[in-house]
Structure 1
Amino acid sequence: MEFSPFNNVVKLCLQGMSMEEKEKPEEALALFLQGWKEATNDHEKFLAAYYVSRHQKTVNDQLRWLETALEHALKINDDTVKSAFPSMYLNIAKCYEDLGNTEKSKANAELAGMYKNNPSDKGPFYHGTKADLQIGDVLTAGGNSNYKSELTMNHIYFTGLVNGAGLAAALAKGDGRERVYIVEPTGNYENDPNLTDKKFPGNPTRSYRSEAPLKIIGEVKDWVKPSPEELQRFQEKLEDHKGEIIN
């Protein structure tokens, strides 16, 4: 299941997070529980249970919901879900530590370490830009950030979602035509820490970064361009962004 903000359970989780930001935990929990009630597959149940776990008043209840979320996540052969395993196992380890079960705490912490910074996603991968490039060219780190022009980036970024790359192309600086290239990492890569485990568990947008170059192996001609309204909304979010970029 590809992550989609239009999925009904995802929308309920987004509404719940909005209530969290407004410091209305009871309303947030009600929305997350509604998501759990309406979930029809393991992916939706994983997401809803994860958020329900954040609002439990006892360690035992938090652990029960975290392990429920993990139970459904383990049934899904999906890279976006696997990227949530490090933080989930760490949270479970913390629960067991608080309960005095050092053996299970250590075991879960070791599982977290096994999954950390070891993306299982094998692509295909995409990079969105306004640059006119050719097959065989390489993209390298060292350019200025699209989000903070004064910041020189130490990594080159890419995604496993073609429409996500299309959005990046639309937001990219320059006057050229938006292009989405198929790219091949030439070295190790990691989950993008600016997006991983932020609002959603793991890396649902399949966003990655590498210090090594990306080789262009093709170009996608058919992808969904964001509407002017969607693009304006994302640009406003970028302008309002006050956090630091992890570089």
Structure 2
Amino acid sequence: MSGNASLDDGPFFHGTRANLAAGDRLFAGHRSNYRPEVIMNHVYFTALRDGAGLAAEIAAMLGPGEAEPHVYLVEPTGDFENDPNVTDKKFPGNPTRSYRTSAPMIVVEEITEWTRLTPEALESWRVRLAALRESDAEIIN
């Protein structure tokens, strides 16, 4: 376990469209779920199960064809930090309990109990993300 217990001691969750298994490792250096032209320098995760669910829903929505959202219980293998994309830019402190790491994350298990978005909420996100892409705004780095 990392030396970041003072930030948060978890448990931690990762939301994605990737189909993973227990023991798999998540590494930085892959294409973003949100902007495929961006290679990620970090793996993002949260201590809020439904926050990971939201990330999974958005990743699936932006993915190819019939992509499915997945939420995984994950364990950091190294140090992590507050996610500056939400903590410093959008919310004071870290109420979303969102983090990032450049160290691998280990998948412990898939979590199936999380709050799914309604069709209306998904459509709202679809419109919001389309507007961000059209404005060339940064979605995530």
Aligned residue number for residue 186 of structure 1: 77
1:171 equivalent in alignment to 2:46: no
The residue aligned with 1:210 is: 101
Task: Please list every run of 5 or more consecutive structure 2 residues that lacks an aligned counterpart in the other structure.
Answer: none
SS at match of 2:122: helix
Which of 124, 133, 142 aligns to 2:29? It is: 142
Distance 1:246 1:180, change over 3 A: closer
The 5 A counterparts of 1:61-72 are none
Indicate how the Cα distance of structure 1 residues 219 and 226 shifts in structure 2: closer, same or farther if over 3 A, else same.
same
Q: In structure 2, how many angstroms separate the alpha carbons of the residues matched to 1:162 and 1:246?
A: 20
- 1:187–1:210 Cα contact (<8 Å) kept: yes
RMSD: 2.0
When residues 246 and 135 of structure 1 are mapped into structure 2, their CA distance, relative to the original with a 3 A threshold, is closer
Give the whole-Å Cα distance in 2 for the aligned partners of 1:245 and 1:233. Answer: 16
- Using the TM superposition, give the Cα deviation of residue 138 of structure 1 relative to its aligned residue in structure 2, in angstroms: 0.5
Asked if the contact 1:138/1:214 (under 8 Å) is kept, the reply is yes
Q: Which of 139, 149, 152 is the equivalent residue of 2:39?
A: 152
Taking the aligned partners of 2:22 and 2:104, their CA distance within structure 1 comes to 14
Q: CA deviation at 1:143?
A: 1.6
Residue 132 (structure 1) shift: 1.7
> Max radius of gyration: which structure?
1
SS in 2 for 1:171: helix
Note if 1:122 corresponds to 2:5: no
Comparing both structures, which one devotes a greater share of its residues to strand? Answer: 2
Which ranges of structure 1 fall in alignment gaps of 5 or more residues? 1-116
Change (3 A) 1:190 1:118: farther
The structure whose residues are more often helix, as a share, is 1
**TM-score, normalised with respect to structure 2:** 0.83
Correspondence for 1:195: 86
* SS in structure 1 of the partner of residue 90 of structure 2: coil
Whose RCO is larger (CA < 8 A, sep 6+)?
2
Superposition map of 1:26-175 within 5 A: 120-172=7-59, 173-174=63-64, 175=66
Instruction: Please give the secondary structure, in 2, of the residue aligned with 1:164.
Output: helix
TM-score in terms of structure 1 length:
0.49
Q: Percent identity?
A: 54
